[in-house]
Structure 1
Amino acid sequence: MGIYGALSTAVTGLRAQSFALENVSGNIANSQTIGFKRIDTDFVDLIPDAAPKRQTSGSVLAQAHSTNNVQGDVKGAATETYMAINGNGFFVVEPRAGQADGSATFSGANFYTRRGDFELDKSGYLVNGAGYYLKGLPIDAATQNISGSVPQVLQVSNAFLPAQQTTRVNYELNLPQLPKTPKYQASQSSGSELLSATDFMTLTPDQAATTTGAATTAGAATSSLASAGETLTIQIGATSRTYTFNSGGSTTMPAIDISDTSTDTIGEVLAAIQADLVTAGATGATVGLDGTGKIAITAGNATDTITVTDGTSGTSATGFNLANGTTDPTVATSTALAARVATVTADQTDDFLNQSVSGGAITVYSSNGAPAQIQMRWAKVNSTENGGAERWNLFVLTNGNATGSGTAWTRMGGDYTFGADGSPSPAIDHTDLPNLTVNGVLVGDIRLQHGAHGLTQFADPNGTAEVTTIKQNGYPAGEFVSVAVNDSGRVVVSYNNGQQLEVAQVVTANFNAVNQLKRMDGGLFAATSESGEPILDNGGGVIGSSLEASNTDISEEFTKLIVTQQAYAAGTKIVSTADEMLQQALNMLR
């Protein structure tokens, strides 16, 4: 190769070190550039073609080596729309192609960056510090699911969020087995904890009547209802009488002879039973046939209960056919012809509050966003200790402004009956409140969703209802407040009604050969044939309120700078030496 070869090789070394110095200079200059990826320098030796024993070390070529796969430090940021990617991937962005009617226009091209200092511009676009527009996937406002697969430029609207009517209230609570209402007295017999229907409504006397079987007449034979040896027990209030039927003797109450001429017809035996009950203390009670020819027993006092145990069959095989069980105007059973408190007037409110327990309250919203507060109270209407089942009724304050005889509280749903294990029997998944109006606000249809195990009756020493869940799905109209990016990579808009709506999903792009991307101005990269096509991901490690710093290490770059400077100086020495050797060769001619 000779002296000229050495000189040429030295020049390639100087050129390579100059290239390396340029990269070091650029890295240091961008040490504070957001998302910057430094460029290292690779040196490639160029060996002349010669026999193995005649080969020389040859020249050198400097090449750029990208570090796109090396992450910079992730730092927190106060701006909620700033974001960083923890791991591999790039934000998908697009430059503005032009402007029409004051708004940006786009060509649909995709570019990629790690620079995540995005902020809203005047049109609601998310633009980073280099002027590139963020792309992502829109989210359906109703389902909150991603609604597309092709990234598009994201634009956030600052319009009002329309009101959403409340249609469901998740409502779960435990009702105390013994509600300690203000009226409850531990020293009294059972029943002081129950709602007394007679305090809130005018009751008609209870009536126990046949529910099946053919009609009869007063002149029919008593034997068609009862046979000798059978019994019928009737209790009205505190008066209880058991009638025994026989044949071949005489009627002496409570023994009734079905062959006695004074009680051998249905009309006669019913009259005898009525007279006996009145004499025994059931004042005003009646026993006879109703307008349909069926037997009816009516209490004389509206507060008296009627309990029937019918052991008759008679020749008709149906006997008196009276429904066994208790008929009570205050508490209900499965066979009751009982009263239910449907509404509570304003002037009855104090009594009602003294006989019920609070069930919590929640604000709901009508279709136009008008608020209404649902206040709920629970009243226990029966208990096993009182001779019935464990039953409750739910009341809602439908008009808190009512006065006098105006309705204030309204019973909602049916009976809530609980078994011995404290769970509803039958199971109650929900309660519907149809066409609900509260204080003049038409809320509409609401479902109280209790769930499979959300409604229970367990013993509670405090005797109060313990609400464990109460939340609803409505809200009033809201004004735009701010936008942020959460750690799931979703763009979230906040409104002054407390609602947050996810409007878009930030996507990231990955490449098989990430270091083969083409670098462009502003921290931008373009896909090349060597990098491969982008692989889009909508769950790619986006971190909100953060920025990725440059991956340049100043101390490392200074080390490279020293090495490069010394290598360049050494190269110049080779040039000087080669020059001196040439001078010596030229001097040989003298």
Structure 2
Amino acid sequence: MDLFTALQTSVSGLQAQSYAISNISGNIANSQTTGYKRVDTSFIDMMAETTQKREVAGSVLAQSQLTNTIAGNVVASSVPTNMSIDGTGFFTVAQKTGDANGAATFSGTNAYTRRGDFAPTVDGHLKNGAGGYLTGNNLDPVTGQVVNSGPIVIGNPVLPAKETTTITYSGNLPATPTVSPSADPAGSIAGPSLTAYTSSGAPVTVNTRWIQTPPAAGATSTSWSLVYNSSATATPTWTDSGTTFAFDATGKLTSPSPSATTPSKTTVTLSPAKISGYTFNNLTLDISGGLTQYADATGAATTSTLSQDGNTSATLTSVAVGTDGKINGTFSNGSVVALATAGVVQFADPDGLKADSNGNYLQTADSGPPIAGLNGSTITGASLEQSNTDIATEFSKMIVTQQAYSANTRVMSTAQTMMSDLLNVIR
């Protein structure tokens, strides 16, 4: 290596350290940027072409080294639609390009980000602080099916009224009830009671009673009938459900039997059933959870599970993000339903992504195509992932970089002095 080569090498060293200090300054500047991934610097020795006996140090090349796989600290947030990814993956976002006929239009290309400070806009979209609109699947709040894919819109959905079609019940009937077996509802014990809903969302009180049927001579099994109040007046009118509930000597339910097509389901058709003055034309009692007849000291029926699937119409009161990425809405009637699913993708090489100026990343040949799904990761709502920049570490790197830069300037000044000495020889 001659003096001119030494000068060129020191110049490459200055350029490399300048590049490193640029990355360090960017990391420090973005130390408080949500979801920011620091950019480290790697150095590559550019060896000159030499023989084994005459190898010399060559110039140096500085390259960026992304840290997309290193997570930042997660902190709690007061905004329920803020979210962070626990594990690998990126949120999919789109950029708004304008408005057409009062509706927002978006770019057709998705970008990817860890910045999850999504908050509702006036038109119901979810936008982060860098202007990225969260994309994913919008769901029908009634059926739960995907309505469309693209930018997520929460808005102000109204949950329509739904008539009760299934009453889910499990419990125990006493082997020795407090009343004697009888065919008269007056000799009965209280059964489950709950509020069902009509097709318009009006509440209907469902009151039932259990009547133990007198056993046949020498029988080892017992049976019950379930009656419900069909009248809309203060004086109850009890109507038999039309099904016999039989138990063997061990207290196991023998009739009705499970469904032939679905052995795990045991249901009883109640419709048409006039309950408290309203006729339900499609009502089923689901006792798949278990109905038994065991001894009970109180002589009363006990209830383990009791619910129904109807509801009144309701408006959205709040939203929350589940660990599976679903954005769930809580409505004024207490119903909780999924409104959308946040788009999350994985990459074979996350550090192969290309960063843009909005805190997003773009697909490249090195990163590979996006693979939809959490792939074992989870979403945490009302939380934010902070920058993975550590200020103390960046300051340490800055000191080392400054020293390396100064050392390269000394090489230049030394080479210049040596050249001056050489010129003085020929004077």
The secondary structure found in structure 2 opposite 1:479 is strand
* Aligned CA distance change for structure 1 residues 440 and 33 (closer, same or farther; 3 Å): same
**d(CA) in 1 for partners of 2:326, 2:377:** 11
Stretches of structure 2 that go unaligned for 5 or more consecutive residues are 258-265
Q: Given the alignment of the two structures, is residue 390 of structure 1 paired with residue 222 of structure 2, yes or no?
A: yes
**d(CA) in 1 for partners of 2:283, 2:88:** 48
* Aligned counterparts, 1:174-185, within 5 A: 174-181=172-179
Q: CA deviation at 1:28?
A: 1.1
Instruction: Give the structure 2 partner of residue 475 of structure 1.
Output: 311
Which residue identity is paired with 2:398? Answer: L
The secondary structure found in structure 2 opposite 1:96 is strand
Which residue identity is paired with 2:316? Answer: F
TM-score (norm 1): 0.66
Q: Given the alignment of the two structures, is residue 568 of structure 1 paired with residue 405 of structure 2, yes or no?
A: yes
The secondary structure found in structure 1 opposite 2:204 is strand
Deviates more, 1:115-124 or 1:536-545: 536-545
Q: CA deviation at 1:384?
A: 5.7
Equivalent pair of 1:163/1:478 in contact (CA under 8 Å): yes
* Aligned counterparts, 1:38-49, within 5 A: 38-49=38-49
C-alpha distance after superposition, 1:466-509 (max 9, x if no partner): 11221111111110112221001112122111111112222322
The secondary structure found in structure 1 opposite 2:367 is coil
Instruction: Give the structure 2 partner of residue 122 of structure 1.
Output: 122
Equivalent pair of 2:206/2:276 in contact (CA under 8 Å): no
**d(CA) in 2 for partners of 1:88, 1:120:** 25
Q: CA deviation at 1:400?
A: 5.6
Which residue identity is paired with 1:498? Answer: G
Which residue identity is paired with 1:412? Answer: S
* Aligned counterparts, 1:406-417, within 5 A: 408-417=237-246
Q: Given the alignment of the two structures, is residue 375 of structure 1 paired with residue 207 of structure 2, yes or no?
A: yes
Instruction: Give the structure 2 partner of residue 547 of structure 1.
Output: 384
Q: Given the alignment of the two structures, is residue 490 of structure 1 paired with residue 347 of structure 2, yes or no?
A: no
Larger radius of gyration: 1
Residue of 175, 181, 189 corresponding to 1:194: 181
C-alpha distance after superposition, 1:1-32 (max 9, x if no partner): 43232222212211111111111111111111
Equivalent pair of 1:382/1:388 in contact (CA under 8 Å): no
Which residue identity is paired with 2:420? Answer: Q
Q: CA deviation at 1:376?
A: 1.0
Which residue identity is paired with 2:210? Answer: W
Which residue identity is paired with 1:423? Answer: K
* Aligned counterparts, 1:54-453, within 5 A: 54-139=54-139, 141=141, 143-144=143-144, 151-181=149-179, 193-195=180-182, 197=184, 352=186, 355-383=187-215, 390-399=222-231, 401-403=233-235, 408-428=237-257, 429-451=266-288
Equivalent pair of 1:95/1:131 in contact (CA under 8 Å): yes
**d(CA) in 2 for partners of 1:59, 1:97:** 45
The secondary structure found in structure 1 opposite 2:415 is helix
Please, what is the CA RMSD of the aligned residues?
A: 2.4
**d(CA) in 2 for partners of 1:474, 1:526:** 45
Instruction: Give the structure 2 partner of residue 559 of structure 1.
Output: 396
Determine which structure has the larger strand proportion and give its number: 2
**d(CA) in 2 for partners of 1:89, 1:555:** 27
**d(CA) in 1 for partners of 2:388, 2:161:** 47
Equivalent pair of 2:317/2:331 in contact (CA under 8 Å): yes
**d(CA) in 1 for partners of 2:2, 2:146:** 69
* Aligned CA distance change for structure 1 residues 489 and 573 (closer, same or farther; 3 Å): same
Which residue identity is paired with 1:88? Answer: T
Which residue identity is paired with 1:408? Answer: T
The secondary structure found in structure 2 opposite 1:559 is helix
Q: CA deviation at 1:431?
A: 3.0
**d(CA) in 2 for partners of 1:459, 1:41:** 75
Q: Given the alignment of the two structures, is residue 583 of structure 1 paired with residue 420 of structure 2, yes or no?
A: yes
The secondary structure found in structure 2 opposite 1:543 is strand
Q: CA deviation at 1:524?
A: 0.5
Which residue identity is paired with 1:195? Answer: S
The secondary structure found in structure 1 opposite 2:351 is helix
Equivalent pair of 1:363/1:373 in contact (CA under 8 Å): yes
Q: CA deviation at 1:551?
A: 1.4
TM-score (norm 2): 0.90
Equivalent pair of 1:507/1:540 in contact (CA under 8 Å): no
**d(CA) in 2 for partners of 1:44, 1:196:** 93
The secondary structure found in structure 1 opposite 2:96 is coil
Q: CA deviation at 1:526?
A: 0.7
C-alpha distance after superposition, 1:86-113 (max 9, x if no partner): 2222111111121123331013211111
Deviates more, 1:36-45 or 1:529-538: 529-538
* Aligned CA distance change for structure 1 residues 424 and 23 (closer, same or farther; 3 Å): closer
**d(CA) in 2 for partners of 1:584, 1:417:** 113
* Aligned CA distance change for structure 1 residues 425 and 551 (closer, same or farther; 3 Å): closer
Instruction: Give the structure 1 partner of residue 31 of structure 2.
Output: 31
